[in-house]
Structure 1
Amino acid sequence: MTALEPYEDDQPMPVDLPERPHTIDITAVASRVENRRPVLPPYLRNRVEFLAWCRWQAQYGAHTVRFHGAHSPLYLARLALWTPIGLYRAARSVTRWVFDAEAAPVRHDAVRRNATAEYMSLSRQRNTRARQRGTVALIGLLLVTVGVWVFVAFAPPEWMAAGLVTVVGVLGKVGAPGDRRVTDQATVSPFTSEPLRADVLTTALQSLGIAAMSPKQGRITYPAPIRDIGSGWLASVDLPAGVTAEMVADRRPQLASGLRRPISCCWPEADQEAHGGRLELTVLKVAMSQARPVKYPLRDSGLADIFGVLAFGTDQRGRPVKLPLIESNMLIGSLPGAGKTASLRTVLAGCALDPTAELDIWELKGSGDLESFERIAHAYGSGVDDQTIEGCLNGLRLLLADLERRAAKLKQLRTTARDLVPDSKVTRELANRRTLGLFPKVFVVDEAQELFSHGEFGKEAGQLATAIIKRGRALGVILILATQRPDKDSLPTGVSANVGTRFCLRVMGQVENDMVLGTSSYKSGIRATHFTRSDRGIGYLVGATDAPVVTRSYYLDAAATDSIVSRAYLAREKAGLLTGQAAGESPEAAPKVDLLADVRTAFAMTGGERMWHSELLEVLAELRPAVYGDWDVRRLGVELRELGVPTVQVAAEDETGERVNRRGLRREDLEKVLSAAGAHPEIEQ
């Protein structure tokens, strides 16, 4: 049959690829492309892991030496107490050897069987051995006696002390009870410190209750040996068909129970470079919260580049975790006291060390946790009062207006200097040209729930933040929000649904978990609810890497933060980049309430190009109820026409889905009026 002929109905259809011949060429090619085991173990190829391994070995060895050195008098006392017993046991053993006690059961058996000839032969053998061994024992005793006398008579005192300690040590060890140790354990751990073994791990995986992974259903294999990475062990596991790494991660408490380890020491994750059934399991020797914190890389020297990656923390194995902040926004959420503000301080330290970044910082708790950054901030506010919250809202209004300016500038550059904006976004080259005004802008709100849940300002703040998050990514604007109450009332859904980078520390429930990390994160096994009270500064980081990663953020105390801010201030001062409050300038005034600016804000919120007057009025009424709450469509049209914005027919679908024409306006007409007008008349309130 040729390849073009159809198969008959009763002829089987081949589904497997034909087997390739095993030629030398194919074998050689396969050997070049197949996955090979590394020549050096991972902790020798990774500087961070190698240093962690060396540090752990040195710390463990030093602690062991100090511990046993301090307890050595106790050990010597135990040995001295057991020395008489050891002397008795040694004498008894020599006596039994001299009189051939090991053959006594054979002689007794001959007596029991009335084997006279055999017994007499055994007795003669015993007498001969006793004479020979007795002579040897006597000579040995004489030599030992003479040696001891000579040693005592001529040896210096320190030698005598060493000899006495040696004799006491040997006889004490011989006389030690069988259930007692001479030395105490230098370390006491709540779990076994034995290395992770494949049989133990296999049993633990099979006990998770996953049907496809039961001993009868699927086979668990290990593509590489379990490796000691210094801080713990790393196991690569190929799960049975149909079982994913996420299914195991979802049962992390049960896995920790099966391994007899604390849950804070067991971290299963998927191998993104392999397949869905490849599990990478890290089992730590010490919980992340108890391990020695890693020093912030830029603690003493160096600057950062916000267009690159910022130092943020370390993962379970102690490897650095970098934070790509540009073209993204960030949300940090947790329970109170879980390390939210400390993590935010680390992010701000990286932003501060980029002299071109302009920082607006609003700490709405009033505790002054971020006051170190006030020296370099373009705008800074701290407090829970209405005046501070209104100042934060004013900052969001200014930021949204700045987005319009940045977008217009980029549009102009695409026309006049296309090579500067090949991707239609702010780059490092554009940011360095200060006259363009496209420098990176970082707007930070700590305790954001105080802003979004405010009775008067909350709704507008949520709309502004949503619009900024959606539009600011390519314009060099970064919004960072931190909240200790991540719920639907304190965190607008438009904000939580559009943030690109998320860091969730300890939370109590599934709703809070998914509000910060994204919908269905809890079902996917990404559960910040498993963190304990001791896991301060530890959380799931999502969006910074291809897969969620457990991260312990670097910790900066007040002294370290002040030192970093001082360097950042000097760098800004030298480059002439101190602005706003840091340069002694008065805070920017709140933008005047005028119709054209508010219409522009409404277009920014909706994202459309055309809008009915009725739709526009609804948005304006939500934005400023006190100003536009009593307006009707007719008044809106009159006011817009007086300002030069023409009324046009806008075709769109109504509530029933029918396409109709209604009076409205176009965004391009609004932009023409805005660009032509130097100022906008204020609305009478």
Structure 2
Amino acid sequence: MKLNGTPNSMADVINLRPLPVSDPEPYDPPLRSAPRTEPPGASDVPTMQDTSYEVPLDDRDEADAPQEAPAESGAGRVLSGKVLRPAGNDAVTEGARRPIVPPVFRDAVTFKAAVRKLVGRWLHITGYHAVRAPWYALKATGYAALGAAKLARRQVRWWWLLEQEPLRQAAASKGDADLWLKLHREAVKVRTGRGLAVLAEVIGLGAGGVLLAEAPVEAAIVSGLLVLLLARHGRPAGRSLLGHAVIPSRYRIITHDVVLRAYYAAGLGHPDKPQQQVQFAAPGLAADGDGSKVTVDLPYGKGFNDVIKAKDALASGLDVALSQVFVSRDETSHRRHTLWVANRDPLAVPVGRTPLLRGKPTDIWEPAPVGLDERGRAVTVPLLWNSTMVGAQPRQGKTFFARLLALYAALDPYVRLSVFDASGKPDWRKFALVAHQFSSGLVMTRDGDPVEILIEALRELKADVQNRYQRLSDLPTDVCPEGKLTRAIARDPKYGMPVRGVFLDEFQEYYDTPDAEANKEIASLLLFLVKTAPAAGVFMVDATQKPSGIGAGQVATSFNSFRDNHQTRFSLRTGSWQVSDLVLGAGAYGEGLDSSLLLPSYKGVGILRGASDDTPTVRSHLADAEDAEKILLAARDLRERAGTLSGHATGDHTARQIRDVLADTHAMFLPAETFLPWQELAARLADKLPQSYGDLTAEAISAQVRSFGVPSVNGKRDGQVLKGAKCDAITDALKARTP
């Protein structure tokens, strides 16, 4: 039976007959709407009965659906919504294997968090009802009294055979004495039998009460059960004995006709015009996590960009919040995309503490877990070979996210960390426990001038990167098959090429220090590193709240170039779509990526671009200051056991004066010397200037000097032919750079 023109089931809503993907002809399976009341042409969008709170989600397989759709009535209207066999990723998704072990049981941290959440929920429910127990007892007693009265009234009516009263009254009204006497005699007979039964009930209840009086425990149990049974019988309709400790969820059920209504209302198609119907790819609408998913084929001429522009209208047509609507591209066609509608706002649900709290060693060669996407799937960020930029307004979780990546790197004892925080916040100070190079703030500290420390560190990083490229190319192919850093090389101390991670928070401040010359050098060094260092195994993670630029002239140009050369980008809430585009990269807004639409209450929520083929909205794991300290203490212990603790973390906090490497090298030549090997140059520098060059290697000084254009040449020394530098070449380099 159909009511008000609504379909009986989803089989009436959509015909799931499979069609070949290559079929170019339009197909219009009937998707019924409510009968049309206005004249044709009065509205572009058909009037439909809203069944989104009435029709359950259609999750049946196509093979179970009927092959023929019911015929359309004359008053009805057809909405095209055909289901096609998927040609791309949908087929792979259908055949994907579900995990044998649920994710919640895979690690102790997740399992404990789930248990804590479950136990906390039930403790709350228990406490809520325990506080209200006296009121519940009073209500139950009152309802039980009503229930006893109802039962007594029902027994009396049954005993006195009151249902016969209308018959006797009708016989008396007609003057039929025989019928009246017959009914009366029957009533007396029945009342006598039922009266004896009622008397037996009363005697039985009385005897039971006497027996229970001798057993108070049993009497209390039986009395309690009787009160509950009578209260259930006596409670008014629609009233409950207990209240709700947790507000029950209510969400919009999405159906095919609701989706079509939304797309046609958004102007993404027309149900009556040829080739302008919205279509669905098989298996049609289906449950997907805490939401509904369907693959949509737009009419010819419409594409993914049109959906992005109409996202607001889609949310309105679906009658859900904008934060519940997510669309993603399909690789097989520009007019095909996947629509996922969450049952509730998924970004408002925190994902809990980071799994790094386990303190177990990590592997930088594997991506770092950072949180969950809108569908509750794990999201990871590959750090090695990449540079990552994090941008947001203040107090949106930018530092927490960058620190989360740093904590992951810290738990790999073979990663050498360089941490620089221009803001001087407490968030990064505990990294002094593990960092090889570290500075905080922009004012003088006991360790020296943070700007000078940064410049010296960047110079050393640049020299190391240049040296790595040469050394990797010189290694035999059986050790370095592709001329690239490998895990074995990075973890073998004899090669001296560990993976290095550089973390800069509020990096824009380093472009605007009071020292203009320092700004230029920092800008030049950072630009070199972001372009060149990742391929040598030196990755970067940089955070800023001002991605729009800073400074003027060469510094401003270098800043923009540095910002634009990050491969992976994470944007939490920003002030406008223009700023969002600067963080996420040019063209992000055109792809529907706009972090300015994130709500202020979404702490730690942002859009991740460049880490994978997908661009998820990520709810990042939480690691507060206490968590970070616990993780860093575990990381320090791992490094001490592995023997990889170095630099600042070992107590080497001596501030070194920024040196002119070229001039210092030239000063190492004696008056009669024209050539010095790199080994001897490094030894003399370490002997004469130990504070600046105490740990300098021959390879490092070679890379630094060669960066000024000084060639590395062969020369004789103590009867051996060694690589080194000529004094004249260094003199020429000094003259060439003199203004």
TM over 0.5, shorter chain: yes
Residue number in structure 2 paired with 1:495: 562
Residue number in structure 2 paired with 1:310: 368
Q: CA shift at 1:484, angstroms?
A: 1.7
Q: Does 1:507 align with 2:574?
A: yes
Q: Does 1:522 align with 2:589?
A: yes
Q: CA shift at 1:88, angstroms?
A: 3.9
Contact kept? 2:266, 2:310, Cα under 8 Å:
no
Match for residue 198 of structure 1 among 251, 255, 277? 255
Match for residue 479 of structure 1 among 532, 540, 564? 540
Give the Cα separation in 2 of the matches to 1:363 and 1:285: 38
**What is the identity, as a one-letter code, of the residue corresponding to 1:549?**
P
Q: CA shift at 1:557, angstroms?
A: 2.6
Match for residue 608 of structure 2 among 532, 541, 545? 541
Residue number in structure 2 paired with 1:82: 143
Residue number in structure 1 paired with 2:35: none
Q: For 1:426-476, what per-residue CA distance to the aligned partner results, in whole angstroms no more than 9, with x for missing partners?
A: 222221233433221211111112113446244443333222211122111
Residue number in structure 2 paired with 1:188: 247
Task: Give the aligned length.
Answer: 578
Residue number in structure 2 paired with 1:571: 638
Give the Cα separation in 2 of the matches to 1:213 and 1:587: 71
Q: CA shift at 1:199, angstroms?
A: 5.5
Give the Cα separation in 2 of the matches to 1:203 and 1:136: 67
Within a 5 Å distance, the mapping from 1:123-272 to structure 2 comes to 127=184, 130-131=187-188, 134-135=191-192, 137-155=194-212, 156-188=215-247, 192-193=249-250, 196-198=253-255, 202=259, 205-206=262-263, 209-212=266-269, 217-220=277-280, 223=283, 226-227=286-287, 229=289, 232-241=290-299, 264=323, 266=324, 268-270=326-328
Cα 1:152–1:103, aligned 2, differ >3 Å: closer, same or farther?
Answer: closer
Contact kept? 1:49, 1:317, Cα under 8 Å:
no
Q: CA shift at 1:495, angstroms?
A: 2.0
Contact kept? 2:256, 2:285, Cα under 8 Å:
no
3-state SS, counterpart of residue 414 of structure 2: coil
Give the Cα separation in 1 of the matches to 2:585 and 2:179: 87
Give the Cα separation in 1 of the matches to 2:406 and 2:481: 29
Q: CA shift at 1:153, angstroms?
A: 0.6
Residue number in structure 1 paired with 2:417: 359
Contact kept? 2:534, 2:540, Cα under 8 Å:
no
Contact kept? 1:82, 1:172, Cα under 8 Å:
yes
Q: CA shift at 1:489, angstroms?
A: 3.0
Q: Does 1:430 align with 2:489?
A: yes
Contact kept? 1:514, 1:520, Cα under 8 Å:
yes
Q: CA shift at 1:564, angstroms?
A: 2.3
Q: CA shift at 1:260, angstroms?
A: 5.7
**What is the identity, as a one-letter code, of the residue corresponding to 2:206?**
W
3-state SS, counterpart of residue 482 of structure 1: strand
**What is the identity, as a one-letter code, of the residue corresponding to 2:138?**
A
Q: For 1:168-194, what per-residue CA distance to the aligned partner results, in whole angstroms no more than 9, with x for missing partners?
A: 3333333333343322122126xx435
Given the two structures, how large is their TM-score scaled by the length of structure 1?
0.72
Residue number in structure 1 paired with 2:507: 448
Contact kept? 1:89, 1:175, Cα under 8 Å:
yes
**What is the identity, as a one-letter code, of the residue corresponding to 1:482?**
A
Contact kept? 2:254, 2:292, Cα under 8 Å:
no
Q: Does 1:592 align with 2:660?
A: yes
Q: CA shift at 1:509, angstroms?
A: 0.8
Q: For 1:35-60, what per-residue CA distance to the aligned partner results, in whole angstroms no more than 9, with x for missing partners?
A: 49979995866424998897577765
Q: CA shift at 1:369, angstroms?
A: 1.2
Contact kept? 1:581, 1:587, Cα under 8 Å:
no
Q: For 1:467-501, what per-residue CA distance to the aligned partner results, in whole angstroms no more than 9, with x for missing partners?
A: 22111221111121111222233882212222011
Q: CA shift at 1:248, angstroms?
A: 5.1
Residue number in structure 2 paired with 1:410: 472
Contact kept? 2:286, 2:294, Cα under 8 Å:
yes
Give the Cα separation in 2 of the matches to 1:390 and 1:36: 54
Cα 1:518–1:126, aligned 2, differ >3 Å: closer, same or farther?
Answer: farther
Q: For 1:244-302, what per-residue CA distance to the aligned partner results, in whole angstroms no more than 9, with x for missing partners?
A: 677656666655566665555x2524276776634252625574444450x43332332
Q: CA shift at 1:547, angstroms?
A: 1.0
Q: Does 1:368 align with 2:426?
A: yes
3-state SS, counterpart of residue 444 of structure 1: strand
Give the Cα separation in 1 of the matches to 2:487 and 2:183: 97
Residue number in structure 2 paired with 1:636: none
Give the Cα separation in 2 of the matches to 1:501 and 1:104: 86
Q: CA shift at 1:525, angstroms?
A: 1.6
Listed as ranges, the gaps of 5+ residues in structure 1 are 1-14, 18-29, 598-665
Q: For 1:552-573, what per-residue CA distance to the aligned partner results, in whole angstroms no more than 9, with x for missing partners?
A: 2222233332232223223333
Contact kept? 1:361, 1:381, Cα under 8 Å:
yes
Contact kept? 1:510, 1:529, Cα under 8 Å:
yes
3-state SS, counterpart of residue 358 of structure 1: strand
RMSD (Å), alpha carbons = 4.4
Contact kept? 2:263, 2:317, Cα under 8 Å:
no
Give the Cα separation in 2 of the matches to 1:96 and 1:402: 99
**What is the identity, as a one-letter code, of the residue corresponding to 1:477?**
V
Residue number in structure 2 paired with 1:349: 407
Residue number in structure 1 paired with 2:392: 334
Cα 1:587–1:130, aligned 2, differ >3 Å: closer, same or farther?
Answer: farther
3-state SS, counterpart of residue 481 of structure 1: strand
Contact kept? 1:98, 1:129, Cα under 8 Å:
no
Residue number in structure 2 paired with 1:647: none
Contact kept? 1:268, 1:281, Cα under 8 Å:
yes
Cα 1:45–1:270, aligned 2, differ >3 Å: closer, same or farther?
Answer: farther
Q: Pick which of 477-486 and 403-412 moved more.
A: 403-412
Q: CA shift at 1:517, angstroms?
A: 0.8
Give the Cα separation in 2 of the matches to 1:245 and 1:181: 49
Give the Cα separation in 2 of the matches to 1:391 and 1:668: 21
3-state SS, counterpart of residue 560 of structure 1: helix
Q: CA shift at 1:507, angstroms?
A: 1.2
Contact kept? 2:168, 2:183, Cα under 8 Å:
no
**Percent pairwise identity:** 24
Cα 1:36–1:478, aligned 2, differ >3 Å: closer, same or farther?
Answer: closer
Given the two structures, how large is their TM-score scaled by the length of structure 2?
0.67
3-state SS, counterpart of residue 326 of structure 2: strand
Contact kept? 1:335, 1:507, Cα under 8 Å:
yes
Give the Cα separation in 2 of the matches to 1:213 and 1:69: 57
Contact kept? 1:446, 1:482, Cα under 8 Å:
yes
Q: CA shift at 1:129, angstroms?
A: 6.8
**What is the identity, as a one-letter code, of the residue corresponding to 2:242?**
T
Cα 1:213–1:411, aligned 2, differ >3 Å: closer, same or farther?
Answer: farther
Cα 1:121–1:473, aligned 2, differ >3 Å: closer, same or farther?
Answer: farther
Contact kept? 1:363, 1:445, Cα under 8 Å:
yes
Residue number in structure 2 paired with 1:392: 454
Give the Cα separation in 1 of the matches to 2:132 and 2:193: 40
Give the Cα separation in 2 of the matches to 1:271 and 1:120: 87
